[in-house]
Structure 1
Amino acid sequence: MVNETWCDERNIQELKSFCSPDLEFLTIKCRPHYLPREFSSIIITAVYIPPPSRHINGSERTLFNSLLCKLETIYPEAAFIVAGDFNKANLKTRLPKFYQHIDCATRGGKTLDHCYSNFRDAYKALARPPFVKADHDSILLIPAYRQKLKQEAPTLRSVQCWSDQSDSTLQDCFHHVDWEGKVSGNMTEYKQCSYSLRKAIKQAKRQYRDKVESQFNGSDTRGMWQGLQSITDDKKKSSPVTDQDVLLPGRLNNFFARFEDNTVPLTRPATETCSLSFTAAEVSKTFKRVNPRKAAGPDGIPSRALRACADQLAGVFTDIFNQSLYQSAVPTCFKRATIVPVPKKASS
């Protein structure tokens, strides 16, 4: 019953079938030749509910709902399509995340045939004449879904290629950099900014103090009380203190103090006992071993640049590494990493 030009038999798998006097359905999984990138497969369920039944009752309803919920958990990236003759039953009340796409009458002015899916605006339904002696009108479903790739506006990105002259250009730039001047210049600017910040904070505090004191000099009684409330941090009266409120600080103290362990003193290793150090030749040799095809870290520096400019960068990095060993402290930027979890299939 499946068009081979859309999906061949090798990519069709029967998942579940059920037949009873009140409910019949068949569920298959298809992996067609062409499929939107956001969907891994299509799970189709054909349903038939006999006319006497208005709802899926009892165990049949539980079985059908649990089946769809289980399949959604197993195949979270699949597209689900549930279609068939529902008569007067309605799947929307049981599965609110599904959308019904047939809005035209299929028999006697009523919509008895439904088509549900887990994505909005999937199809546009058009009524067609019934087949031969069938008592239901046929429905033509025209795909109206737009792929996410087409929904998003195209973006332009500029990519710079690493040419043969890039290595020599970058080496020449690092070779003429005055690292000592850069460090001293940055420290001077940092001290100036720190001084300006402290000065601005003191000035803001002085202005706030003058504002509060001015409320006592005038005849504004309301402003005076507002000033007192601001100074004393006085707020509205709270409810009477209960026994639970009195015991709350002790319970919080015991809760957070359980993480402390005073048996082991936190002592910092003496810096004078550290005899480990690196040389510029060792750092340069390590940089030249870096794999140029590895992705860059959080700093965005490509590994190819470290390898190409190993001799030019070895000196400044040697000073950083030795200072880190001497002070027994690792810079924060060295502790950052980009971690990409790669799922692995369970071994059979």
Structure 2
Amino acid sequence: MGNVRSLPNKMDELAVLTRHQREYRECSLLLFTETWLTALTPDTAAELDGFTLLRADRSKESGKRKGGGLAVFVNDRWCNPGHITVKEQHCCKDIELLAVSMRPYYLPREFTHALVVVVYVPPSANADAACDVLLSAVSRLQTQHPDALLLISGDFNHASPSSSLPKFTQYVTCHTRDNKTLDLFYANTKEAYHSLPLPPLGRADHNLVHLLPVYKTLVHRQPAVTRTVKK
């Protein structure tokens, strides 16, 4: 996950990474902010072999002409592309948001499916207004899908959503831009991930973050029992 500051000019590098480096090749999700994709950018300019792309480009409702944009790459080996659905999109001057639902091949039994919310809060945004939009979206998703694993990833800049998400745990413990941690990752379950910094893509000014799952399932399968019936 991370802020890439223009995705199209980094796709060659990303393709090489997902082909040759395990950290990228085996990622279930790649979550990016500031893609700088527009309505004039075809999906082919951001295609990645083995991954399904979902994008939310910055719209005129943001009040800005360029920049912004969100992207979710879902690993086809983790989730069938037919089991992926966009749940919400929102773009205004304070926040950009994309929510995606996925039913992967495997999840711990206590979760029915996974939801990921990718967020970008611009430096000029009203932080309180941005957090209100995020909280409203998360509340709707949790009401509709109370048993889903819910992940929130994004560049929050000066916004601090932790107080609005008391039942979520924030997992990024490394700096993501200079000596600041602007890119955050939340999950609605505890002891689920461990974060490691990765180098930026190209000349982006944010480090990427690798979230390694450490979660232990809470619901265990009953052991199989074979019974012999005497005749």
Q: What one-letter code is carried by the residue in structure 1 that aligns with 2:230?
A: S
1:15 matched to which residue of 2?
87
Q: What one-letter code is carried by the residue in structure 2 that aligns with 1:8?
A: N
User: Which structure has more helix as a fraction of its residues?
Assistant: 1
Alpha carbons 1:25, 1:46 under 8 Å: kept: yes
2:211 matched to which residue of 1?
141
Q: Distance in 2 between matches of 1:113 and 1:89?
A: 11
TM normalised by structure 2 equals 0.63
Question: Shift of the alpha carbon at 1:149?
Answer: 4.5
Q: Whose radius of gyration is greater, 1 or 2? A: 1
2:157 to 87, 90, 98: 87
User: Which structure has more strand as a fraction of its residues?
Assistant: 2
Q: Distance in 1 between matches of 2:131 and 2:161?
A: 10
What are the ranges of 5 or more consecutive residues in structure 1 without an aligned counterpart? 165-348
Q: What one-letter code is carried by the residue in structure 1 that aligns with 2:119?
A: V
Alpha carbons 1:129, 1:138 under 8 Å: kept: yes
Question: Shift of the alpha carbon at 1:56?
Answer: 3.5
Q: Tell whether 2:174 aligns with 1:104.
A: yes
1:147-187 deviations in Å (ceiling 9; x for gaps)? 1256xxx99899875533xxxxxxxxxxxxxxxxxxxxxxx
Structure 1 segments, 4+ long, off by >4 Å, are 154-162
Change beyond 3 A, Cα 1:9–1:160: closer
> Secondary structure at 1:2's aligned position in 2?
strand
2:78 matched to which residue of 1?
6
1:33-61 deviations in Å (ceiling 9; x for gaps)? 1211111000000000001236241xx54
> Secondary structure at 1:25's aligned position in 2?
strand
Q: Percent identity over the alignment?
A: 35
Alpha carbons 1:54, 1:88 under 8 Å: kept: no
Q: Distance in 2 between matches of 1:91 and 1:85?
A: 11
2:107 matched to which residue of 1?
35
C-alpha RMSD of the superposition: 2.3
Change beyond 3 A, Cα 1:25–1:157: closer
Alpha carbons 1:39, 1:79 under 8 Å: kept: yes
Alpha carbons 1:99, 1:118 under 8 Å: kept: yes
2:198 to 108, 123, 128: 128
Q: Tell whether 2:230 aligns with 1:163.
A: yes
Alpha carbons 1:54, 1:87 under 8 Å: kept: no
Change beyond 3 A, Cα 1:140–1:160: closer
2:139 to 31, 48, 69: 69
TM normalised by structure 1 equals 0.43
> Secondary structure at 2:74's aligned position in 1?
coil
Alpha carbons 2:93, 2:125 under 8 Å: kept: no
Q: Distance in 2 between matches of 1:76 and 1:163?
A: 46
Q: Distance in 2 between matches of 1:63 and 1:51?
A: 16
2:121 matched to which residue of 1?
49
Q: Distance in 2 between matches of 1:71 and 1:155?
A: 31
Question: Shift of the alpha carbon at 1:8?
Answer: 2.2
Q: Distance in 1 between matches of 2:141 and 2:147?
A: 10
Alpha carbons 1:31, 1:42 under 8 Å: kept: yes
How many corresponding residue pairs? 159
Alpha carbons 2:131, 2:164 under 8 Å: kept: no
> Secondary structure at 1:38's aligned position in 2?
coil
